[in-house]
Amino acid sequence: MEQPLLPCDGCGRPASAEHIGRRLKRLEELTRFRPIHVQALFLSAESPADPREYLYSSEGGFQGEAARLLEALGIETAARPAEAVRAEFQRRGFLLAHLLECPGEGGRPEKEALEGRFGPMLARIRRSFRPKKVALLGAEVAAFAAPLAAAGLETEIALAGGRPFELAALRPGELATLLASSAGAL
């Protein structure tokens, strides 16, 4: 007997039991390194499919989005255990979240899917994360800068010249410097 697919609370897509299991594993991994007081929330469009690119994954080193974010923040990863790197990220009060918390099928996430997850993410930012700053990462989340600023979150929205930060364009440590100043604020 085939079980009906229900919408996933992390991405809004119809989800199998396996999908929900992977979602819960990622949520557990993120929660393990969630800082008590979030100084800066980095908000990206979609969680990467490759576990090595997911910052909180227990499956290995740092590649892709995770590696670029850590480098942009000046957090050294070479010759260090992954747990120590994640602990430093946590100690600095950093948290990485994605509008679509589950990886997609590849390619760019659909605009409608991102829009559908903005409301629930806004609620998490307001009720749970309560960061001092929100730094948008990637062009896919550009449309959410103004709604975030207008949401009355009492938090600074950090941007690069009015646009989300592009991790590939940042020099090592540059994002940490920009966050320390108010130069990147909306």
Question: Does 106 score more than 70 pLDDT?
Answer: no
Q: Provide the residue ranges of all domains of the chain, joining segments of one domain with +.
A: 6-180
Q: How much is the pLDDT for 125?
A: 96
- pTM for this structure? 0.90
- Which single residue is written with the structure tokens 């969680």? 47
Mean pLDDT of the chain: 90
Question: Does 180 score more than 80 pLDDT?
Answer: yes
Task: Could you please state the CATH topology (level 3) that the domain comprising 6-180 is classified under.
Answer: Uracil-DNA Glycosylase, subunit E (3.40.470)
Q: Order the strands of the 94-100 sheet from edge to edge.
A: 94-100, 40-46, 133-136, 156-158
pLDDT digits (tens, 9 = 90+) for 32-78: 999 999 999 999 999 998 888 999 998 878 999 999 999 999 999 99
CA dihedral defined by 11, 123, 86, 105, rounded to 10 degrees?
10
